[in-house]
Structure 1
C-alpha cells in the first residue's frame, strides 16, 4: 500500500498558512519534548513507535478524520509503517513526513525582506532550527550573511536574481549549526569575512581590518568593529543605514546567550555595553534582521519574514533596554543555566576549521532545536 508523503517544504507551507494539522509523532517521548515540528494551529499526539508495532488500536480513537494527519519519526521509516496501518484502518488524509525530522532540520525557505532602488534583500529561514541567513543583491552582485551549509540554495537564489556571489560574512562562529561560509567561498571565489578573534584556522578576511565593505550601491558597516555578547567576536552589520543584521546579538524577542565560552559574567557585561552604548544610537526605523528566532509564530511579521524595526523591538523588550546593569547581569546569569546547544563544542571546532565532518556527521551534530536565543524578556 502506498502512503502519501509530505515533504518538509509542504509542511512549512502549512505552518506559514496557519493550517490545521494533526501531528502524530512516533519518536521517543524525550525526543518529542525536546524538539518537534511547531505550528500555530497544530495538534499533537506523541506515541513511541515501539508501542505501535503490534497495531494501532490504542490510538485509533485519538486520530481525527476531519484533518490532515502527518506521521513523523526521526528519518521517515517508522512513520511510513504507522501511516500504512492508519490507511488500512480506513483513515484518509494520512501523510508520512518524508525523511522525518532529519529533513525538517535541513529545509530552508526564502522570503523577500526589503527592496529599494539600490538593494534587494532576501531572508532564508531554516524553520526546523530557527536559523536565519540572508542575501543582499545590488546590480549583479550578491552578499551572503551567515550562510548555512546548504550552499546550493544561495547559489541558485543568486542565479535567479542574475547576480554573482562576491562577498560572504559570518557574524560570529556559530555554535548550533555548521556554517556554509567557507564552503560557499571555496565554490564561488567570493571574499569570506570573519572576526579574527573567533579563532578560525583557515584563510579568510579579518573583519577587524574592514570597518566597511562596499560594492555597487551597498555599504556594509561592521558595527563599531564588533558587538560582543554571544561570542567575544560577534559583530553586527549595518547596511545602507537602513538594515541591521544583528547576528546573535539582538533578536526580535530577546538577546543572544553569552555563556557558551564559560565566561558568562564577562560576556554579559559586553552584551550590556553593546545594547546600551552601541545599539542605542541607531534610529528606531532601522529594520533588525537577526541570526535566529526563538518562537516562529510570535516573531514572524505581517510581511512574512522574521524581523522588526528597532523601535518596535525596544518597546517589546523594554526591560532589556532599560534594566540597570547589575540586574541585567544577574538576569543573564540565571538564563545561562539553561540547556546549551547540543554538540556545540564540536560544531564550533568544525566551524573553526580544526575538525572536519562528512554530511552524515553534520546531520547528526545539528539534530535538535535552536538554543542560541534563550535570554528573553517577559
Structure 2
C-alpha cells in the first residue's frame, strides 16, 4: 500500500480546528531549534532514517487512535518515518514538502476597536506577520507576505474595497506581495520613500496619512533596521512597527551594511525607538515578525508599549550602551537575503522558486 501524504493546507486545517494529531519532527536538533511547527514532537532520528535503520523510531509510543504526521526539511526522509510508523500500526501521513512547504502556512487573529478591526495574518512557520485594517467597508493591507489570493478571499467574502497596500520597509527575509496585491486591485503600492525600487509606487514620508472608512493612519519614519523603515499609527490605538520594534526585541541594523554603517543605523534606530516610546504607553505594538512558531490559537501577537518596555531591557539604556549591546547581539544573517532584497526591489518574481528562497527561520529581531 502506498504511503499516505497530506499537504500543508490540510495539516493547517487540522491544527486550526483542533483535530487531534501528533506531528512528529524527525529533523536534526539544530534544524528544529531554528524553526518548527507549533505543538510538534521532536525525535532526532534523521541520520538513522536516512540509513534505513528499522529501529530508528523505536522510542515512539503514541496513542494509536490519533493520526501521526511526520515532518522533515523537504518531505523525503519523513516519508521513511511515516512508512515505519505505518508498519507499526499507526495511521501515519507524510507532510509533502516538509518544512520548506510549511513556510507558507498561515493562520489569523483579530483585534476589534470602536471604529476599525485589525486582522493579523501569521505565517506560522516563517513568523512573518501582515495586517488588514478594516473600517466600514474599506480596507488597507500592510506588509503582505502571503499569496495574493489569501487577502483577496477575505476582501471578496466581506465585500470590502481595498484602498491601500503598504510596506513598512524593503524586506530582506521574505518576498513582498505589495506590488502584486495592489495591481490586482488597480492600485499602486505605498512604500516608504527611497530611490531603490524600479517600479512605480506612492512614496510615503514622515507624517503621511491614510484616510479610509472612519479612521486615519499616520506614517512615522523610524529608520534603523533600514533607512526607509516606517511605522504606522492607527488612531492612537495600535502601532504597526514592521521590523523596528518587536514585542520582545528590536530590529537588527546590520543587513547590507558594513561595520560603520551598522553602527550608524543602530544610532538611527535608538532615536526612532525613543520617538515611538514617547507615544501613549497603552498603544498596542503589532510587529512585522515573531521569532517563535505561531500557534493556531487565534490570539494576536501584540504587547502594549508599556509591556514592551518591561520585556526589552536594552530600551532603558543610553545611546552608546544601546548601540554596543545591539552590535554584540547580531544574529546569523538570514539565508538568501541579498537575493530576496534584489527581487523586492524589482518586484519581479518570475523564474524563482519562492519556497526554496524563503525557507528558514526569521532572524530580524535582536532581544
- Kindly tell me: are residues 282 and 201 of structure 1, through their superposed partners in 2, closer, same or farther at Cα, counting changes over 3 Å? same
Alpha-carbon distance, 1:281 to partner: 1.9
Mapping for residues 293-304 of structure 1, pairs under 5 Å? 293-296=290-293, 304=299
Shift of the 238–16 alpha-carbon distance from structure 1 to 2, 3 Å rule, reads farther
2:360 is matched with 368
Question: 1:185: Cα distance to partner?
Answer: 1.1
State the match for 2:240 in structure 1.
245
Matched, 1:322 2:321: no
For 1:305, the equivalent position in structure 2 comes to: 300
Match of 2:95 in 1: 97
Q: Relative to total residues, which structure has the larger helix share, 1 or 2?
A: 1
Instruction: Tell me the matched-pair count.
Output: 361
8 Å contact 1:149–1:183 — kept in the other structure?
A: no
How many Å separate the matches in 1 of 2:29 and 2:299? Answer: 32
Give how far 1:111 is off: 1.6
1:81 Cα deviation from its structure 2 partner: 3.7
Query: In the TM superposition, what is the alpha-carbon distance from 1:6 to its structure 2 partner?
Result: 4.5
The question of 1:348 aligning with 2:349 is answered: no
* CA–CA separation in structure 1 for the residues paired with 2:36 and 2:187: 35
Q: Is the 8 A contact 2:287 2:302 kept in 1?
A: yes
8 Å CA contact 1:201, 1:352 repeated in 2: yes
- Residue deviations 1:105-142, cap 9 Å, x none? 011212212242x2121000001111000001122211
C-alpha displacement at 1:148, in angstroms?
A: 1.0
The alignment's TM-score, normalised by the length of structure 2, stands at: 0.89
Change (3 A) 1:198 1:242: farther
User: Structure 2: how far apart are the matches of 1:331 and 1:236?
Assistant: 23
| Maintained 8 Å contact 2:109/2:298 | no
| SS of alignment partner, residue 57 of structure 1 | coil
- The reply to whether residue 217 of structure 1 matches residue 211 of structure 2 is no
2:45 corresponds to which of 47, 52, 72 = 47
- SS of the aligned residue for 2:223 comes to coil
User: 2: CA distance between counterparts of 1:54 and 1:313?
Assistant: 47
Change (3 A) 1:288 1:160: same
Alpha-carbon RMSD: 2.6
Question: How far 1:58 sits from its partner (Å)?
Answer: 2.7
Matching of residues 137-156 of structure 1 within 5 Å: 137-156=134-153
Query: In structure 2, what is the Cα distance between the partners aligned to 1:341 and 1:154?
Result: 26
Q: Which runs of 5+ in 2 are unaligned?
A: none
Change (3 A) 1:38 1:302: closer
Check conservation: 1:198, 1:233, Cα contact below 8 A.
Answer: no
Q: 1:275 aligns with which of 268, 273, 295?
A: 273
1:258 paired residue among 253, 258, 279: 253
Match of 1:8 in 2: 8
Equivalent runs, 1:85-234 vs 2, <5 Å: 85-88=84-87, 90-116=88-114, 118-197=115-194, 199-208=196-205, 211-223=208-220, 226-234=221-229
Aligned residue in 2 for 1:64: 61
What's the TM-score, normalizing by structure 1? 0.87
Deviation of 1:2 after TM superposition, in Å, equals 4.6
Contact 2:109–2:119 under 8 Å retained in 1: yes
Instruction: Classify 1:212/1:369 alpha carbon distance in 2 versus 1 (closer, same or farther; 3 Å).
Output: same
Decide whether aligned partners of structure 1 residues 148 and 24 sit closer, same or farther in structure 2, where only a CA change above 3 A counts. Answer: closer
Per-residue CA shift, 1:202-237, capped at 9, x if unaligned?
1000002862111221201001xx101110100000
Q: Is there any run of 5+ residues in structure 1 with no aligned partner, and where?
A: none
Distance 1:230 1:367 in 2: 21
The alpha-carbon deviation at position 20 of structure 1 amounts to: 8.0
In structure 2, the CA distance between the partners of 1:43 and 1:53, relative to structure 1 (3 Å rule), is closer
Structure with higher RCO (Cα < 8 A, 6+ apart): 2
Output the CA distance in 2 between the equivalents of 1:9 and 1:198: 38
Q: For residues 172-212 of structure 1, give each alpha carbon's deviation from its aligned partner in whole angstroms, at most 9, with x where no partner exists.
A: 00000000000111111124111222621110000028621
Contact 1:120–1:138, Cα closer than 8 Å, also in 2:
yes
